Structure 1
Amino acid sequence: MRPIRRRTSPFLADWLRCGGAFKWVASIINGTVISVSSSYFPRARFPDADAIYRRTKSTIETYRSYGIEDFLRDRTWIGSRMPHGDEARLLSQPKSRPIMVTRKVDTSMDGQPLTYSETLWSSDRVEFVLEGKDIRE
């Protein structure tokens, strides 16, 4: 599935302090869809993020193309719910099986928003492990 560009919702536009570029991508392992992800980049700061992401297939490389070598994960939310509409079809799972939902905000080292992302995970195909250790130490 290829990344695409769409208009950002008013909530996300406010969160990112501007309009944004959008990418949508699926993670597939051994032919099985594991997750479907949407990411939003502030368009004023990343005017060609969608094209760069299509070429590099990497958010980190997209940041680097704009001179951003380091960033922080400001926050991550993790929850679960039943899939909506086409989500079950996209994840190749029954509508009766819950999905995991992760939402995250990445910021620059000075706290400026870089991306907001939301990923839908097929709940029986993943396991999350959260540790409190700072990986930069």
Structure 2
Amino acid sequence: MDGKNQQGESVKAGGGWVGVAAELRTAIETGRHAPGSRLPSERALSEQFGVSRVTMRRAIGELEGEGLLRVARGSGVYVRADIPVRFRLGDKVRFSKDLTATDANLTRKVFSAREVPASVDIAARLNLQPGEAVLDMCVIAYADALPVSVVTRSCSAERFPALAEKFAAMDSFTAALREYGVMDYWRRSTDITARMPTEAEARLLQQSRLVPVLAYAGEDIDADGIVISCQIGCFASERVVVTV
């Protein structure tokens, strides 16, 4: 029996890439491939189904067009997950309270931490002199195994020595900052824009560079109104809803 694919092309059902796509579709719909999970490599799938990699690529492309799969260049093929992650934008920003998901476990990890000279932009945000030492921490937030945001938090290396280690041990910036006498802090401002991701952002978010991200930048202040850190990062726009 003949049918049509997402592009309206005539295909013969029951064999070739159509049959492979049908089997993968069933595996996804029945939960054998869970939402957010990564499929085996193209080579492994080709061997599993006994087809060429060209045929497998065509089947994956069809399911991507149907919205069942997403292809992250350089990372792999993932089952799409409708994860209702919400970020509440307020005067206080706390990961444990402001980033929420209905049916997903939210976690974070420090991807990298390094001491660098402050750029002109970062120095202006932190009220430092360009070239002063700042600690840059790149932190990735996950909903289950799916990355939803990548942010670089910058702060004065002199005022907050070893902050990255304290955060990693406590898994809380709020708790880590208390070690330096900052008992509370507030968001001074937040700017949000839509743009295309950089190559590094797309790789870390496991998404295509053709899908926009929600980029944001903001500064946090302590009770005395002194800027303690700035954050520059982005959300995966298909996975996060920003609530004001």
Give the shorter-chain TM-score range: 0.7 to 0.9
Structure 1 distance, partners of 2:160, 2:118, is 17
* Bigger helix fraction: 2
Give 1:35's aligned residue: 149
SS of alignment partner, residue 106 of structure 1 = strand
**CA deviations over 1:17-55 (Å, ceiling 9, x no partner):** 142111111111121111111101111211121221121
Q: 1:101 aligns with which of 215, 218, 221?
A: 215
| SS of equivalent to 1:97 | coil
Which of 66, 69, 74 does residue 183 from structure 2 map onto? 69
Query: How far did residue 8 of structure 1 move?
Result: 4.1
Task: Please identify runs of 4+ aligned residues in structure 1 that moved more than 4 A.
Answer: none
Letter in 2 for 1:102: Y
TM-score (normalizing by structure 1): 0.87
- Asked if 2 retains the 8 angstrom alpha-carbon contact of 1:24 and 1:36, the reply is yes
Bigger Rg, which one: 2
Q: Does 1:113 align with 2:223?
A: no
RMSD: 1.5
Q: Tell whether the 8 Å contact from 2:221 to 2:227 is kept in structure 1 after alignment.
A: yes
SS of the residue corresponding to residue 79 of structure 1 reads strand
Identify the match of residue 13 of structure 1 among 123, 127, 137.
Answer: 123
Instruction: State the one-letter code of the partner of 2:175.
Output: E
State whether residues 41 and 49 of structure 1, in contact with CA within 8 Å, keep that contact through their aligned partners in structure 2: no
CA distance in 1, matches of 2:197, 2:124: 26
Q: Is the 8 A contact 1:8 1:22 kept in 2?
A: no
Contact 2:148 2:240 in 1 (8 A): yes
User: For residues 196 and 125 of structure 2, what CA distance do their matches in structure 1 show?
Assistant: 26
Bigger RCO of structures 1 and 2 (CA < 8 A, at least 6 apart): 1
Deviation of 1:106 after TM superposition, in Å, equals 0.3
**Whole-angstrom CA distance in 1 between matches of 2:176 and 2:228:** 11
Aligned residues: 130
What SS does the aligned partner of 1:6 have?
strand
Match of 1:135 in 2: none
Question: What does residue 134 of structure 1 align with?
Answer: none
* Counterparts of 1:5 and 1:24, CA distance in 2: 9
Deviation per residue, 1:68-126 (Å, 9 max, x gap): 11112111111110011221111111111000011110011111110001121110100
1:55 and 2:169 matched: yes
CA separation of 1:8 and 1:79: change in aligned 2, threshold 3 A: farther
Matched residue, 2:3: none
